[in-house]
Chains A and B, each alone.
Chain A
């Protein structure tokens, strides 16, 4: 079942601008992860933030996590055309076994040159 819900479903911005995507989830988590999917390809892991962390950076990516609101955001700064892709959040549920991550439906990001 879907737990993460990304918002917005689609986002179109100009190259160089910042892109912000949000994710909400329902249950307690061990960690939350963000993935990128280029059209017709597999998903690529971007960043993982643990439940006891509030913010994490990786290059042009900044992820925040608010466990009290059960939400996360992914910020891509200084966007490039190559950032055009779908972005998914995925939650690793607390107490879960090996049954893996639960993915949201994704945000489709288009960077206009």
Chain B
């Protein structure tokens, strides 16, 4: 069965520090991978998506970047965090829009920038 792992679960980082969040998928190949951010009490904002190794599309210009070094690995990074980067970050994968299963989400990372 397909599973998605996201870590860490919580993170408190000072302003100006770097960031690296990792997401890995098991049990599938060539998934479409997504990073979303959710502000408190709000919907999900798409940050990045990837359709293959080394292929990254950015939806929102910002302080963050993403990389996909392996087929089932998606990394969200920042060189210098801002206070506004605080939020709940969710990784998700979607194999085929024709399938009825929808997206599978990781359990999320709560990032607090202080």
Name A residues whose Cβ lies closer than 8 Å to a Cβ of B: 2, 4, 30-31, 33, 35, 40-45, 48, 88, 90, 92, 98-106
Q: Is the CB of B57 within 8 A of A99?
A: yes
Contact for A45 among B34, B90, B101, CB less than 8 A: B101
Q: With A and B bound together, what is the CA distance between A34 and B5 in angstroms?
A: 22
Name B residues whose Cβ lies closer than 8 Å to a Cβ of A: 6, 32, 34, 36, 42-44, 46, 49, 51, 57, 59, 88, 90, 92, 94, 97, 100-108, 110
Instruction: With CB as the reference atom, state the residue of chain B lying closest to A49.
Output: B100
Q: With A and B bound together, what is the CA distance between A4 and B73 in angstroms?
A: 29
Summarize B's interface: helix, strand, loop or mixed. strand
Q: With A and B bound together, what is the CA distance between A43 and B90 in angstroms?
A: 9
Q: With A and B bound together, what is the CA distance between A99 and B110 in angstroms?
A: 24
Instruction: With CB as the reference atom, state the residue of chain A lying closest to B106.
Output: A42
Instruction: With CB as the reference atom, state the residue of chain B lying closest to A46.
Output: B102
Q: With A and B bound together, what is the CA distance between A35 and B44 in angstroms?
A: 12
Most central of A31, A35, A42, A88 by chain B CB within 10 Å: A42
